[in-house]
């Protein structure tokens, strides 16, 4: 799965959905946030977005 990238602005620190799922299976959101230098709120947003994208893929085939 590829993540649509915006042009310009700050570079994204967000891992791919697969990387995020792997990390979240062995780390807490707080640990992931510390590893990427972002807030816990940001990591939770990443997780929610990844879950939403995954459910959309399942329903769309």
Mind listing the pLDDT tens digit for each residue in 11-47?
678 899 999 999 999 999 999 999 999 999 999 999 9
Residue ranges of the alpha helices (H) in the chain?
17-26, 29-36, 40-60
Mean pLDDT of 44-61: 88
Report pTM.
Answer: 0.75
Question: What are the backbone angles phi and psi of residue 6, rounded to the nearest 5°?
Answer: -85, 150
Find, among 25, 24, 43, 47, the residue nearest to 34 by Cα: 43
State the burial class of residue 13 (Cβ atoms within 10 Å of its Cβ: 0-12, 13-18, 19+). Answer: exposed
């Amino acid at each position: 799965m590829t993540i649509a990238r915006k042009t310009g602005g700050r570079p994204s620190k967000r891992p791919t959905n697969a990387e995020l799922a792997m990390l979240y299976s062995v780390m807490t959101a707080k640990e992931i946030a510390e590893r990427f230098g972002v807030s816990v709120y940001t990591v939770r947003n990443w997780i929610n977005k990844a879950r939403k994208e995954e459910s959309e893929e399942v329903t769309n085939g």
